[in-house]
Amino acid sequence: MVMTNPYQTYQQNSVMTASGQELTLMLYNGCLRFIKLAKRAMEEKQFEEKNTNLIKAQAIIQELQITLNRDVEVADNMAQLYEYIHNRLIEANMKNDLTILEEAEGHVYKLTDTWKQVIKLMKENN
């Protein structure tokens, strides 16, 4: 008999039923979670764990960049910002530089806050 993890089932259902806007917010939140884990690992000199979490954060930023709607006017600016964040995550990883990592984290926080406002406005207009 296979036991399923109720939390994992909940997460899967959340992703499967989320709107595109909610999925984007989930990606931002996931990226922030991996950056936080990488920061802690960096501080504790757990370099393998730091590397693993930063690679996950980089993959999320790449996914956000790939899925941009290029028909939207701000897409090119967003693509450039995502590329910048991605490069800073790589640099922070290579140099074990907490300052660079915190800069990247700050950009992702701003994107998350902005995206939350976008979702709120879209809900108010519907």
pLDDT in tens, 15-51: 555 688 999 999 999 999 999 999 999 999 999 999 9
pLDDT for residue 19: 84
Average pLDDT over every residue of 53-57: 98
Tokens of 32: 């922030």
Examine residue 66 and state whether it is found in any structural domain, yes or no: yes
Q: pLDDT above 90 covers what percent of the chain?
A: 78
Task: State the residue range of the domain holding 79.
Answer: 20-125
CATH of the domain at 50: 1.20.120.340
Q: How many domains does the chain have?
A: 1
Average pLDDT over every residue of 57-74: 95
> What is d(CA 35, CA 83) in angstroms, rounded to the nearest whole number?
16
With a cut of 90, say whether residue 68 has pLDDT above it. yes
Examine residue 27 and state whether it is found in any structural domain, yes or no: yes
Examine residue 45 and state whether it is found in any structural domain, yes or no: yes
First to last CA, the chain: 45
HSE at residue 36, side-chain half, CA atoms within 13 A, is 8
Average pLDDT over every residue of 83-98: 98
Higher pLDDT, 109 or 72: 109
Q: Predicted confidence band at 10 (pLDDT cuts at 50, 70, 90)? A: very low
Examine residue 55 and state whether it is found in any structural domain, yes or no: yes
